Amino acid sequence: MAEIGHGGKEIKERILEPAEAKKRIQGLKQYPIRSQLANEVIDIAYGFFSPLEGFMGKADVESVCKKMRLKDGKTVWSIPIVFDMSKEEIAEYGVKPGASLLLTYTGNPMAIFEIEEVYEYDKKSLAKDVYGTDEAKHPGCARTYAYKDKFVGGKITLVNRPKINEPFTPYFLPPLELRRIFKEKGWKRIVAHQTRNVPHTGHEWLMKGAWFQTYGELPMDKPYVGVLVNAIIGEKRKGDYIDEAIILTQDELRKSGYFGDHNHLTSLTFWDMRYAGPREAVFHAALRTNLGLTHHMFGRDHAGVGTYYGAYDAHRLLESLKGEINIVPVYSENWLYCPHCGEITSESLCNHKKEWQKFSGTLIRSIVQDGVKPPRLIFRPEVFDLVLECAEKYGFGSPFVEEEYLKKRTPVFVMPPLA
């Protein structure tokens, strides 16, 4: 039976068998790509970005920027997926409609790029439409301004499956594989937890609250509902948690019994965050629809940065698209601790505002840096111990991204030689 994803289209993997791949790549010029493009090649080929079959042409980019739709005018899509090249590279590699390139990564073949279009697009206009600002200090705008002269649109077909390095191997679960697992578990509803962080108890309670909301009217006689932690793995900035700590500590909540096999699963998606706030929330809804999810958590300032977006702008945008995206938003406020109530609460639950203790990211990071085990109220002890273990094993002594980590870390994935 066909698996239907975002936009009502069947999810298909665009991956060649080795024998066919060897034939198809003969005589193609090889073009090495950076990690962002490699991440997006995988996302396209495995169906994470369905219904996209390749990098966008100009009509799609313009429609996404101006109308938040693909060029068909119907399919909601909020962030352009583009492949940039310089004028010199276009000339050197003979890039033109009808030609093909062999994209390589980590020195080995990755994908065939069937070129359909070469075009220009005003980067300042793109930034303003997608991020609501053209300020270069916004990380999404900075990424946009760093693109090369021109964009190239066309279909992508993987010629080689990536080798996912440890400890990430068991967490690379593409859409078709995830959907098979959900059926095996008997989950009727699955709610997404989008993350790029090590979980503190505030995150845990966000997931548990979303689990209860997602269960809704279903009978409690069977484990019908699961939480999928979908960790975003991509470009790292100094001060971020290291990827190894993120993925392993998220799964530790299940391993240590705070969730169970019957209601919790951890996976990853390769994506370089754009910090596009409301538009990135819509993008996440499309992405998780393709993963087979029915519900999605959206908290305060989802995927935002700085003060560019209002606390609940993402909620309002998602509400305006009801009926056009095939996933149910589960909205939440910040979780916090109320000493008067003696429990985890939310901003709308109790009336002891003067006593509330918020889960400050800055405070929690300072606790981690100090290496002194915090109370269970803030961190589960098993999670905290694992953060420190990851720091020694993967982070060159730190659980946060530093220069040495950027230079020496083992990449999350590589392309092996073509078999």
Q: What is the pLDDT of residues 119-155, one digit of tens each?
A: 999 999 999 999 999 999 999 999 999 999 999 999 9
Q: Give the pTM.
A: 0.95
Q: pLDDT tens digits for 74-112?
A: 999 999 999 999 999 999 999 999 999 999 999 999 999
In this prediction, residue 371 carries a pLDDT of: 76
Q: CB within 8 A of 131, min separation 6: which ones?
A: 138, 140, 141, 144, 274, 275, 276, 277, 279, 308
Mean pLDDT of 206-215: 94
Per-domain boundaries in the chain: 6-161, 169-414
Mean pLDDT of 314-331: 96
Residue 305's φ and ψ, nearest 5 degrees, are -150, 140
Q: Does domain 169-414 have CATH number 3.40.1160.10?
A: no
d(CA 41, CA 111): 8
The one-character DSSP state at 15 is B
Topology adopted by domain 6-161: Sulfate adenylyltransferase (3.10.400)
| Other CB atoms within 10 Å distance of the CB of residue 34 | 11
- Would you state the structure tokens that stand for residue 343, as one six-digit string? 């429990």
d(CA 234, CA 276): 15
Strand 108-119 with 225-233, pairing = unpaired
Rounded to 5 degrees, what angle do the CA atoms 191, 193, 197 make? 170
Do the beta carbons of residue 269 and residue 173 sit within 8 Å? Answer: no
Measured in whole angstroms, the distance separating CA 366 from the mean position of its chain's CA atoms is: 26
Q: Is the peptide bond before 51 cis (omega within 30 degrees of 0)?
A: yes
In this prediction, residue 360 carries a pLDDT of: 67
Binned at pLDDT 50, 70 and 90, residue 346 comes out as confident
The mean of the pLDDT values for the chain is: 95
Q: pLDDT tens digits for 359-404?
A: 766 777 777 777 777 777 788 999 999 999 999 999 999 999 999 9
Do the beta carbons of residue 327 and residue 289 sit within 8 Å? Answer: yes
The one-character DSSP state at 77 is -
d(CA 227, CA 193): 7
